[in-house]
Chains A and B, each alone.
Chain A
């Protein structure tokens, strides 16, 4: 993938069947973005997992393992994965004096292993517009992520139509309209209180009519426990499929990186209702680590596709398991 999979050659375009959508993303700058977002975090908080290990090495005992466990928990990965990793380290190193690199490598490898995914980029329709539906709980960052994703695709030379499917929240339509204006792309809106499914339908319709490459549809924030609203998502899906069989091609679940264990329930609920294909992990520029995507990936095989790194047009990057895993334990 051209998505700077490796740190060493961020701008090295890879040969072969890279989907066109991803070409532009490979332009080095994205990785810089990623690290500079994390840089902010690092500046503010104190220590590093490396403090656990003195340069001469440290005896791996209960105290050591507890400290390690604390570090793991602080990533929001949850007690399940944290216990698992703790046990793994205990099994391998208990009673030994270890070097920092040794243990960090074990953990990072373990996590990278968990995050290994078959594809990092966006799906692309064989013909006609690629339809992307964006879902998630209230305030997670859906609308903003759409703006950033649209900008990313637009600057890759693609044409697109946005669909203002949040007809519920005050000024949600205006918000997406402003994003469309910034990017300079088409937007389909309905009246406040209109049926979101009909907006979605019109958006796909418009994309097909104008021969756009992408249609990205916003939805109102909702909690996964609200079954009527979850059914509404199913209806939106159905209506989209009716207009363009096989669509939506991507259903992106936007998770807030500051979220804790409830994100697992979100992934479960939204996957069941809307058949999510990937995750956008927004607000990763804060001090939260977003480690909850680890159990989510394990339980639902949902890959993280993008990360949100700010509120500006360019503040999004494709997900990279290596740097993500590494950043988990940096401060």
Chain B
């Protein structure tokens, strides 16, 4: 009866195993893993330290959901904290109603300022706003030409002064011109500069002071490494930034520098650049970025689903029942119904490492059919029978089978398998992490004791088909595992 459902049950056990709270001790490994992951994603060292200290303080004492190992729970908390830190979002350019709004883009060399000018222009054009672009990079060869071409491509005016040597003047003249021409927005494309270049940073400050841009955005390359804290800090000190744009996130860079930038500047992240073309500018979404930086998506998703599947109070009572051996067929039924909710289970399965092969089995119609049969069979039992299946003799069996519309041998099978599971569940809820994990691994690898064989099969399972020899081998392994578990139980 359980053939394909057995796999779903395995995960049900998974969601019921494990307990306790996050402690300094059981977080240590998790913290280490997360810390290394953040460093690998290029979050600056000092920012990682600060962030992790904050997270562990926050996490300390939090209950670990039954289904999770402490470090999985921790990763979930980290993920949420990342989202919180990277947010809140503010994609507005805060345009003024009564006068031209001046946007200034600044940043290191080659970060994507000029291209982002084009992208912002495209965005504004879509709102029927025609900005004036100002070519204030008088430094890089052909920088003016580059902006000119971009203006042409997008059909917006570009203010250029080839004879001027002073970008402050160029910006001032550009803003004056926008006032005259009635452009609602002015975008200043400044030259790339090193944060440690005192002269050029001073020049930027002069522009800021003389022109007084309404919004100053730092454009940061998504591939930036540890230096992000230094450069972003310097730009922020010089200018009081209003926002950040991170570019080149169309590749495989994890973009951890964004966390550094956010931490040191505290200003909203406005947009991300995801390509060279003008339409490749997206409003920033902290969720996506948090996942990208942490790159523990599988774990986070599984942990989140686990939180949804088993709610807190239910979990506690189940946990208690399991530990005390009170776990009944009723509980079993409830749990099964829970994990077999359409779609949800399938999604969760797909996300668990090594469990994706079960997804199909659980989403299949047969699985649903078998579920119904099992639930039907349990429903046909009296409360006393559900509590103590030992009561079920041949006569009761016939009655239950008739009520559920299955063969009475199926009932035998169901009870036998429930008996096998019960001690396992008890053990999982009772014992410490190590044993439990070893067992879960075995469960995941498919060697589920008492599973498979006979039952009221409607159709062949969609799962893997085994040759008779393989079946025999698997049976032997299961027996061995069962004996081992029984020994442990004593």
Contact = CB atoms under 8 A, between A and B. Distances in A.
Interface of A: 40-41, 43-45, 70, 73-76, 78-79, 137-141, 147, 168-172, 174-175, 177-179, 221, 223-226, 256, 258-263, 265-266, 283, 285-289, 292, 311
B145 to A, nearest CB: 4
B155 to A, nearest CB: 14
A169 B276 contact: yes
Q: Determine chain B's interface SS by DSSP, over half rule.
A: loop
Given A287-B194, A287-B196, A138 B112 contact: yes
Interface in B195-221: 195-197, 221
Nearest to B197: A40
A262 B254 contact: yes
Contact of A286 (B41, B45, B194): B194
Contact of A311 (B45, B109, B112): B109
Contacts of A224: 251-252
Closest 4 CB pairs of A and B: A260-B225, A139-B110, A260-B42, A223-B251
A265 B254 CA distance: 11
B110 A140 contact: yes
B223 A260 contact: yes
Interface string B110-153: 11101000000000000000000000000111110111111001
11 contacts: A73-B39, A73-B226, A75-B226, A79-B40, A169-B276, A258-B224, A259-B223, A259-B225, A265-B252, A287-B227, A289-B226
Interface of B: 36, 39-42, 44-46, 49, 108-112, 114, 139-143, 145-150, 153, 194-197, 221-227, 230-231, 248, 250-254, 256-257, 276
A49 to B, nearest CB: 14
Contacts of A266: 223
B230 A262 contact: no
A260 B39 CA distance: 10
B235 to A, nearest CB: 12
Q: Determine chain A's interface SS by DSSP, over half rule.
A: loop
Contacts of A172: 142
Given A172-B142, A174-B146, 14 more contacts: A45-B196, A70-B46, A137-B223, A139-B109, A141-B110, A170-B147, A170-B150, A225-B251, A256-B110, A260-B223, A260-B257, A261-B41, A287-B195, A287-B196
B40 A78 contact: yes
B142 A288 contact: no
A28 to B, nearest CB: 25
Contacts of A44: 196
B142 A139 contact: no
A45 B230 contact: yes
Contacts of B231: 258, 286-287
A171 B142 contact: yes
Nearest to A292: B225
B145 A171 contact: yes
B141 A285 contact: no
A138 B276 CA distance: 9
A256 B226 contact: no
Nearest to B109: A283
A260 B112 contact: no
Contacts of A73: 39, 45, 226
